[in-house]
């Protein structure tokens, strides 16, 4: 192959770009298994066209293929699962007065990871297992982050002083 004779083979190109392609894809589809599938499809397409593609077109060429596959994924998804109108927030037991964004603002000790776990759990309604899979964490880690965050949020909610170290984080 021309590129091989110039010292760059498929594996080198793969190592250089696979993380960026996976990152873009995971963000677009939100599921690691689908992101793995799309990333491998993009690189297979590259492998099949390897002799014709100029390195200067990468990673843009790969991003284009990955985005097309991600678009196909959403197109295949039933409309009711992708429409904003069909999303209902988790039903509150009482009529609440404070929004989650207000609570986040009040609770300065929460890290980005805590907030992500809380949002995925209570706004997006994911189970701890699903959150762990999405973020590449263990279920125990997710459970620990949620317990810690919930404690801080409840303290903020009741207007009490944050007991940032009351619960040791797992």
Tell me whether residue 58 or residue 164 sits nearer to other proteins (CB atom): 58
Task: Supply the minimum distance, in Å, between the C-beta of residue 52 and other proteins.
Answer: 12
Task: Supply the minimum distance, in Å, between the C-beta of residue 165 and other proteins.
Answer: 19
Tell me whether residue 79 or residue 165 sits nearer to other proteins (CB atom): 79
Tell me whether residue 2 or residue 140 sits nearer to other proteins (CB atom): 2
Read off the DSSP letter of residue 77: S
Tell me whether residue 4 or residue 170 sits nearer to other proteins (CB atom): 4
- Contact between 41 and 72 (Cβ < 8 Å): no
SS3 of 78, please? coil
Contacts of 122 (CB under 8 A, 6+ apart): 90, 100
Task: Supply the minimum distance, in Å, between the C-beta of residue 91 and other proteins.
Answer: 8
Structure-token pair, residue 43: 């690189």
Task: Supply the minimum distance, in Å, between the C-beta of residue 144 and other proteins.
Answer: 14
The size of the chain, in residues, is 170
Tell me whether residue 130 or residue 169 sits nearer to other proteins (CB atom): 130
Exposure string of 31-52, with b = 16+ CB inside 10 Å and e = fewer, is: eeebbeebbebbbebbeeebee
Structure-token pair, residue 146: 């949620």
Task: Supply the minimum distance, in Å, between the C-beta of residue 26 and other proteins.
Answer: 4
């Amino acid at each position: 192959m021309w590129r091989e004779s110039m010292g760059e083979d498929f594996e080198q190109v793969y190592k250089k770009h696979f993380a960026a392609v996976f990152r873009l894809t995971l963000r677009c589809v939100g599921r690691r298994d689908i992101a793995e599938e799309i990333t491998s499809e993009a690189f297979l397409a590259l492998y099949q066209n390897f002799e014709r593609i100029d390195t200067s077109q990468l990673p843009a060429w790969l991003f284009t293929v990955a985005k097309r596959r991600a678009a196909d994924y959403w197109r295949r998804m039933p409309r009711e699962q992708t429409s904003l109108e069909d999303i209902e927030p988790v039903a509150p037991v009482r009529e609440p007065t404070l929004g989650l964004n207000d609570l986040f603002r009040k609770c300065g000790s929460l890290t980005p990871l805590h907030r992500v776990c809380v949002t995925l759990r209570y706004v997006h309604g994911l189970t701890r297992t699903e959150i762990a899979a999405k973020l590449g964490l263990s279920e125990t880690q997710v459970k620990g982050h949620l317990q810690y965050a919930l404690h801080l949020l409840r303290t903020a909610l009741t207007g009490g002083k944050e007991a940032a170290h009351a619960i040791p984080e797992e």
